[in-house]
A and B are shown apart, each in its own frame.
Chain A
């Protein structure tokens, strides 16, 4: 994995994506789902930006906005120096060659009735790049690159296992030598032993073809492994964005802290020593997101200011310019969040009678050496 340092390949500014929904009797009232609500970020050439967050936080929608699979409600996306946020489909075509996607479901993203060779060859056909024997040669080359047997050119997707199908998806994304690949939960559907194969493949390809990745996942340990920088989203907004180790070791936003502490660690010693922050309640509806900081109803540090004022995504405390957090009261180094309780009481707050407040789970306090296997 190369260190980030290249020029900016993609920049998104104030991207907003709202989806209208109809509800109520006779579908009269028109609500709006605030899927992505003002997100700005940059991705540098050759880096991997991880985007994490829970179901419904808008990470996939954001990625699809950047890849222009969705029209933006407002905001701007600049790819390789060109503003692509308002391009018509015809003018988007050249951009499509440069931006490809890999999807989560290796079963749903391949047409079961078509042969693998023709699926991988699709990009060549659509963009008129290669035909006939030339196309076949290039498809087989790609199959070899991603670790598939080129002789399986005429097989159907059903004849491949989940991991192999994901390789087919990777080959298809790679066909036109894109600059950016948006990976939307590329390994979530795979078993761990297979997951590692695909993660390694993606990182080899990045080195080989100087690819830039936007890597979306809810598995925080995989994201930590592949990403140079990580953005954490909550209810349509980025709450924190920083180089990967900064996020994992000194998260500033209480939500980021809680999310990271909730990840089960496959190591009993670490698991028993870690203090887990258990959040109160559920994520509020994106139709009616809370005012101010959207995390305030569940936040142990929230104060009146968090209800009134939307926090900016800027460096906090003594962090350098690369570590941004959207929080009025960022968590200091070494601060113990597990001792505090939610402070703001609002009507829409879900109270957990059994689990009121932030619970500290001290495991077996076995004081053997710290956390390493």
Chain B
């Protein structure tokens, strides 16, 4: 059984302009010890989906299921949810400065987290654990730094402190929402390494939300590609990068500058992401899709149809779901025979 299984999740927010359909029928699952990457551009619903399952989207209209160890997170009471959030599912966010309280010492904030969930732990023991955790994530001189305020930490150290706090109760699932986006690349490499090490050590499952395909390539096992509130493709990392099926995934990868090699013009995806108040009929990607045909404009593609010949690989697209069929369309439309 998967550790977390999300089925047909729909989330919408009523606003004065209309109902924003932030997540429109998303399903995926995560196994113990694995890293699931969720990739998508701004407004694709990747953060809303994970915040909803941890009960962080108040005022949203939610339907679907989020089975965590067989129990539906979406129907839990706040009290039940509190037992899950923290000890079992922990989260870290993009901006470590606004996730830490500026008035309290870093160590105190970790101690508070521990004691809130384990009232029996003494202050002294909790403090010692905070020191150990800070050491674990690579904070220098943790005995001294535990009494620092967040502003005395650099950006990378703050994110390490957040990871320490998230790991303090030894959760089975860590949801990392753009954990390195605000950090420089050398610091990003350090932080990703810390997450990777902790995962190896404690067999934690990780959901890593990012817009950076480079980060996905480095750390994810499986990948969900989201666009306009829907999951477009779900596959192993290598399938996403080398055998992708959905035209949006293909377009996303093609719009990146090539790593090395010839400097040719970039291939952006034409147009803009759609409004989520009035999403296009049919496939949400059809206005920007180079392969669009009549059916795409009217009928929404079946959510995540399996791609022939693969265990996991699924794609929400009307194009043929055989490798040969998809390749034929690719060649016909782009005219780039044997480009890869």
Instruction: Determine whether the beta carbon of B241 is less than 8 Å from that of A200.
Output: no
B194 — which chain A residues lie within 8 A by C-beta? 354-355
Instruction: Determine whether the beta carbon of A267 is less than 8 Å from that of B217.
Output: yes
Instruction: Determine whether the beta carbon of B185 is less than 8 Å from that of A259.
Output: yes
Which residues from 254 to 313 on chain B have a C-beta closer than 8 Å to any C-beta of chain A? 255-261, 263, 265-269, 272-273
B64 at the interface (CB under 8 A from A): no
Contact status of A268 and B263, CB under 8 A, knowing A225-B257, A359-B193: no
Q: Identify which of A54, A224, A271, A371 contacts B217 (C-beta below 8 A).
A: A271
Instruction: Determine whether the beta carbon of B186 is less than 8 Å from that of A262.
Output: yes
Q: Which residue of A lies closest to B157 (CB)?
A: A282
Give min CB distance, A372 to chain B, whole Å: 7
A164 — which chain B residues lie within 8 A by C-beta? 272
Give min CB distance, A170 to chain B, whole Å: 15
A264 at the interface (CB under 8 A from B): yes
Contact mask for chain B residues 138-172; partner A; CB cutoff 8 A; 1 contact, 0 none: 10110000000000001111000000000000000
A351 at the interface (CB under 8 A from B): yes
B215 — which chain A residues lie within 8 A by C-beta? 264
Instruction: Determine whether the beta carbon of B188 is less than 8 Å from that of A1.
Output: no
B237 — which chain A residues lie within 8 A by C-beta? 268
Distance A264 CA – B252 CA, assembled complex (angstroms) = 16
Instruction: Determine whether the beta carbon of A191 is less than 8 Å from that of B211.
Output: yes
Q: Identify which of A54, A258, A351, A355 contacts B193 (C-beta below 8 A).
A: A355
Instruction: Determine whether the beta carbon of A163 is less than 8 Å from that of B272.
Output: yes
Instruction: Determine whether the beta carbon of A262 is less than 8 Å from that of B138.
Output: no
Give min CB distance, A285 to chain B, whole Å: 10
Contact status of A372 and B261, CB under 8 A, knowing A266-B241, A271-B218: yes
Give min CB distance, B159 to chain A, whole Å: 12
B340 at the interface (CB under 8 A from A): yes
Contact status of A267 and B259, CB under 8 A, knowing A54-B184, A355-B138, A373-B242: yes
A265 — which chain B residues lie within 8 A by C-beta? 214, 217-218, 259
Give min CB distance, A202 to chain B, whole Å: 11
Instruction: Determine whether the beta carbon of A192 is less than 8 Å from that of B252.
Output: yes
Contact mask for chain A residues 207-232; partner B; CB cutoff 8 A; 1 contact, 0 none: 00000000000101110110000000
A54 — which chain B residues lie within 8 A by C-beta? 184-187
B328 at the interface (CB under 8 A from A): no
Contact mask for chain B residues 4-44; partner A; CB cutoff 8 A; 1 contact, 0 none: 00000000000000000000000000000000000001100
Q: Size class of B's contact patch?
A: 35 or more
Contact status of A267 and B211, CB under 8 A, knowing A192-B41, A353-B135: no
Contact status of A192 and B259, CB under 8 A, knowing A264-B188, A361-B193: no
Q: Which residue of A lies closest to B156 (CB)?
A: A282
Instruction: Determine whether the beta carbon of A218 is less than 8 Å from that of B185.
Output: yes
B212 at the interface (CB under 8 A from A): yes
Q: Which residue of B lies closest to A201 (CB)?
A: B268
Q: Size class of A's contact patch?
A: 35 or more
Give min CB distance, A269 to chain B, whole Å: 8
B41 — which chain A residues lie within 8 A by C-beta? 191-193
Q: Which residue of A lies closest to B214 (CB)?
A: A264
Instruction: Determine whether the beta carbon of B193 is less than 8 Å from that of A278.
Output: yes
A267 — which chain B residues lie within 8 A by C-beta? 217, 241, 259
Instruction: Determine whether the beta carbon of B241 is less than 8 Å from that of A278.
Output: no
Contact status of A282 and B187, CB under 8 A, knowing A200-B268, A361-B193, A373-B340: yes
A276 — which chain B residues lie within 8 A by C-beta? 189
B251 — which chain A residues lie within 8 A by C-beta? 193
B193 — which chain A residues lie within 8 A by C-beta? 278, 355, 359, 361
B256 — which chain A residues lie within 8 A by C-beta? 192, 196, 221, 266
Interface residues, chain A, with chain B CB atoms under 8 Å away: 1, 54-55, 161-164, 191-197, 199-200, 203, 218, 220-222, 224-225, 248, 258-259, 262-268, 270-271, 276, 278-279, 281-283, 350-355, 359, 361, 371-373
Which 5 pairs from chain A and chain B are nearest by CB?
A: A264-B214, A196-B268, A225-B257, A196-B266, A54-B184
Q: List 13 A-B contacts (CB under 8 A).
A: A55-B184, A193-B255, A193-B269, A199-B266, A218-B184, A221-B214, A259-B185, A262-B188, A279-B189, A279-B190, A282-B187, A354-B138, A355-B190
